[in-house]
Structure 1
Amino acid sequence: MTLLEALAQADAALALTDLAQRVGLPLPTTHRLLTTLERRRFVQFDGEQGRWSIGVRAFIVGNAFLPRRNLMRAAMPVLRRLMEESGETTNLAVESGGEAVFLAHVECRDMMRASSRPGSRVALYCSGVGKALLSAMSAEEVTRVLHERGLNRITPTTIDTPEKMAAELERIRRQGFAYDDQEHAKGVRCVAAPVFDDAGRPLAAISLSGPSARITDERVPVLGQQVALAARHVTGDLGGQP
């Protein structure tokens, strides 16, 4: 990684000795690592000049991050506004490896709050963000995820059968938002909605979460509409479509 960073920051291609000095590695080690990276096309070597530069594979990987960076830029103002409107902590998550991964959150000001640390993961089937993402997937994708991950009961309210999950996802599609009623953690409720890309695929999910004592049954429909509107704003800002 240090080698790639050094090459990316350089104004021109670098000789082996220059690169080794920049990263503080012995010449043999530097050459061995570069050779490995070259085989994967992360770096390229100019035999005539005897110099190394960043490769096409590094560009492809870096370019893949751009949509997520744009997502964060579009979502953060919306998360802040949603927190102010609802008084609850707001979150942004994406699907990765059959789980929901939290990218960012805006914590509410109340001492009692529910918070998911950026980088933390949660199962799709038992979380608000996860069910929002599942509701926007194709039937084949949902079946694959549930088959690979299972439906293990975590709390008394966790949905634990494919039939119940199918009915739940249909309800989410009809009402426009997902509701996690203490299905992942007792005492915590979450309301979420999906964000779509320009092909209508689920790109992310926005949620708000808080203690069940504050997110009451009466508040859920109102909070659901707020979250759904926030998700639509982010979708629109990114040029997406439901």
Structure 2
Amino acid sequence: MKAQALAAETPVKGQLVQSLSRALNILSILGASGGPMSLTAVAEAAGLSPSTTHRLLTTLQEERYVRFDQGKRGWSVGLQAYMTGINFLRTRSLVDVARPRLRRLMEDSGEVVNLAVEDNGEAIYLHRVAGPRAVQSTVPVAERTLLHCSAVGKALLAGMAETRIQTILSQRGMRQFTRTTVSSLPALKQELTLVRSRGYAIDQEERVSGLRCVAAPIYDETTAVVGAVSLSGTTRRIEDTRVRDLGEMVKRTAAAITAEFGGRLPM
């Protein structure tokens, strides 16, 4: 009898999971739309029949996850979906979201991996992961560094408005630490243009001689830069031939963190 009950229960559970999956897909479709969608448009986007789509929409409407706009005769995201999203934004932690990805990047690269954010015109390191083979850099965890001379700094600057960049540089200056430090505004602007086009920044021994870094920005839901992931090591370990591959690796990691953080990459 118990086996028969379980056998009868399995199809029901399967149908519930399928309905839930379809409803969540519809919610995602509405969330990505630029405005109210007709029943036909939602059904086509979801790959469902209009009757199934309408049933799912009305169920979501009862729970206030979607709403029907009588004036525009279309469906859109409802209040409860908005409240759920707000709760996610309020409770999310960049460090918690990034930590597993940072560890995976460290394991794949064998180098020191950092997470940094901008604070008062400087970069502050929030988290670091270093494997047994990696050589620790001279920048301690949670210590600040200037933006113009570090890979994380340039990744952060590349996402800022021009006026914000000018303010930071006027307050902090562009001190030259090594012979390769980018210490002029025109040169930095050129560097930031490169960062935006290739998606990652490079520190060519600009803060510490013998240390090379690559970094990529992390974005929030408005495509504003909220942090940066960097990978650092000695010039003996990170040779010129590795920089591009490691840059792409860091870029992919930053994009994955952006997605899990609820952010969007700029178009």
Q: Indicate whether the TM-score tops 0.5.
A: yes
C-alpha spacing 1:92/1:115, structure 2 compared with 1 (3 Å): farther
Q: Which runs of 5+ in 1 are unaligned?
A: 1-62
Q: Which residue of 2 aligns with 1:138?
A: 161
| Greater radius of gyration (CA) | 2
Does structure 1 residue 108 correspond to structure 2 residue 115?
no
C-alpha spacing 1:88/1:223, structure 2 compared with 1 (3 Å): same
Q: Amino acid of the residue matched to residue 152 of structure 2?
A: V
Q: Which residue of 2 aligns with 1:39?
A: none
Does structure 1 residue 173 correspond to structure 2 residue 200?
no
Choose which of 219, 244, 257 in structure 2 pairs with 1:221: 244
Question: Whole-Å Cα distance in 1 between the matches of residues 228 and 138 of structure 2?
Answer: 15
User: Which of structure 1's runs of 4+ aligned residues deviate more than 6 A?
Assistant: none
Q: Amino acid of the residue matched to residue 136 of structure 1?
A: G
Question: Deviation at 1:141?
Answer: 1.1
Whether the 8 Å contact between 1:107 and 1:115 is mirrored in structure 2 is: no
Q: Amino acid of the residue matched to residue 191 of structure 2?
A: E
What TM-score does the superposition give when structure 2 sets the normalisation length? 0.64
Question: Whole-Å Cα distance in 1 between the matches of residues 138 and 263 of structure 2?
Answer: 27
Q: Which runs of 5+ in 2 are unaligned?
A: 1-86
SS at the partner of 1:218? helix
Greater percentage in helix: 2
Question: Deviation at 1:86?
Answer: 0.6
Question: Whole-Å Cα distance in 2 between the matches of residues 119 and 216 of structure 1?
Answer: 27
Cα deviation 1:53-77 (Å, max 9, x = unaligned): xxxxxxxxxx9x956x611111000
What TM-score does the superposition give when structure 1 sets the normalisation length? 0.71
Q: Identity rate of aligned residues, in percent?
A: 41
Q: Which residue of 2 aligns with 1:197?
A: 220
Alignment of structure 1 residues 156-167 onto 2, 5 Å? 156-167=179-190
Q: Amino acid of the residue matched to residue 242 of structure 2?
A: R
Task: Report the aligned-residue RMSD.
Answer: 1.7
Question: Deviation at 1:115?
Answer: 5.8
SS at the partner of 1:209? strand
Whether the 8 Å contact between 1:101 and 1:120 is mirrored in structure 2 is: yes
Greater relative CO (CA pairs within 8 A, separation 6+): 1
Q: Which residue of 2 aligns with 1:235?
A: 258
Q: Amino acid of the residue matched to residue 124 of structure 1?
A: L
SS at the partner of 1:219? helix
Question: Deviation at 1:113?
Answer: 3.1
Cα deviation 1:25-51 (Å, max 9, x = unaligned): xxxxxxxxxxxxxxxxxxxxxxxxxxx
Question: Whole-Å Cα distance in 2 between the matches of residues 112 and 179 of structure 1?
Answer: 18
